[in-house]
Amino acid sequence: MQIQLQLLFFICFIFQTTCVLVSSALECITSQNPSKVAYTITVSQSGDANFTTIADALSSIPPNNNKWIKIFLKPGTYKEQIQIEWKECIFLEGSDSTTTTITFEAHDTTSESCTFSVDADNFLAKGITFKNSYNRVLKGVNPNPVPAVALKISGDKHAFYSCGFEGYQDTLWDDHGRHYFNSCYIEGAVDFIWGNGQSVYEQCAINVTGGGFITAQGRESANETSGFVFRGCKISGTGHADLGRAYRSFSRVIFINSSFSNVVNAEGWFIWNQQGHEKDVTYAEVDCTGPGADISKRVPWMKKLEISEVGQYVTQEFIDQDGWIARQPI
C-alpha cells in the first residue's frame, strides 16, 4: 500500500511539473519591452553570417526556449526542408519576401511534402516567401496535381507579416491553433488554404492559378472555435475557384470587406462530401465587392450573418482575446 501511495505521489508530481513547464512555455519572456528579442542569429549563403543554413541556425537554439530569438535571413533562395519541434519563441525574418525564399520540392505524402513546418507555439515570420515548387508549371496547368505543402503550422500564437506562400495544391496547411496573417501573398489552385486553424487573414492577396477551391476548412463540431476569417483581402488570378469546400461537416469560412475578381465561381461554395450538413457549415460573405462578389447565384445554404454575429469575427474577438499579437516583437 505504501509503495502504491509513493507511486501515486510521484505520478502527481510529474504531472504537476509537466503542467508548469507547458504553461510557462506558452508565454515568451519579453522583459519590460515586448519588441525586444534576447539575441539575433544571422544566416547567409555567402558565409558572412553566423550560419549558412536555416537548419544550423535552428539547431543552435535550445529546446524549451522561452525568450524571443530572431533568426535573420539575408537575401537568397534557401533550398531546405525545415521542421521546428519543441522550440518556441522564434522570430524568423527575411530581408524581403521578393528576395528571401525558402523552397523545396516534395510530394510523397501530405505531411512529408512540407517545405517548412512548425509544431510548436509562439512563432513569428516576416518578409519571407515559403514555396513548394512541385506542381507549379507554366500557366498553372497541371492535369494531375498532388498535395505539395509550402507551410504547415500546428501550434498556437503564430503570426506572419508580408510573407508569401507559393504552391499549387495544399499550399498553406493552417492545421490548428490561433494564427494571424497580415499583408501576405497566397498562391495556389486546389484547397490551397486548408486545415483546422483558428485564423484571421487581413489585407492579404490571394492568387488563383488553376481550377479548384481557395479554402478547405476542417472544423468538425459546433464546439470547436476554429475557422478562417478573411478581412480586406483581394482575390484575383488566372484560374477559377469556389471560395471554399466543406472539408469537414462544420467547416467555417467568413469573408469580410474583401474584393473578388471574376475568378470566383458564381455558386461560390461547394458542400463536397458533407451533404446533409449544409445547416452546420458556416460560409458567409459580408460587404464584399467586385465582379466575383455577386451573390445572386450563390448556393442557397450560404449563411447570412446578422450585424451582431459579424462582431465575433473581429481579430481581437476571434483570436486575440488575451492580446498575444501585441506582445510579439514585430
pLDDT tens, N- to C-terminus, the chain (330 residues): 343 434 443 333 343 333 333 333 458 986 556 668 999 999 999 989 999 999 999 999 998 899 999 999 999 999 999 999 989 999 999 999 999 999 999 887 888 899 999 999 999 999 999 999 997 654 455 567 889 999 999 999 999 999 999 999 999 999 999 999 999 999 999 999 999 999 999 999 999 999 999 999 999 999 999 999 999 999 999 999 999 999 999 999 999 999 999 999 999 999 999 999 999 999 999 999 999 999 999 999 999 999 999 999 999 999 999 999 999 998
Cα–Cα distance for residue pair 151/130, rounded to 1 Å: 6
- CA distance readout (Å), 121 to 25, 37, 319: 8, 16, 14
Cα–Cα distance for residue pair 165/186, rounded to 1 Å: 5
| β-bridge partners, 322 | none
Please report, to the nearest 10 degrees, the dihedral formed by the alpha carbons of residues 55, 59, 62, 67 taken in order. -30
> N- to C-terminal Cα distance for the chain?
55
Let me know if 108 is a catalytic residue.
no
Q: Which of 121, 156, 174, 191 is catalytic?
A: 191
Contacts of 314 (CB under 8 A, 6+ apart): none
* Alpha-helical segments (H) within the chain: 2-25, 54-59, 307-310, 315-318
Let me know if 242 is a catalytic residue.
no
The answer to whether 222 and 190 have CB atoms below 8 angstroms apart is no
151 residue type, one letter: L
Cell of 329: 516583437
The hierarchical CATH code for the domain 72-318 is 2.160.20.10
Cell of 222: 459546433
Q: Which of 170, 174, 175, 242 is catalytic?
A: 170
DSSP-based helix, strand, coil % in the chain, nearest 5: 15, 40, 45
Buried b (16+ CB within 10 A) or exposed e, 97-110: beebbbbbebbeeb
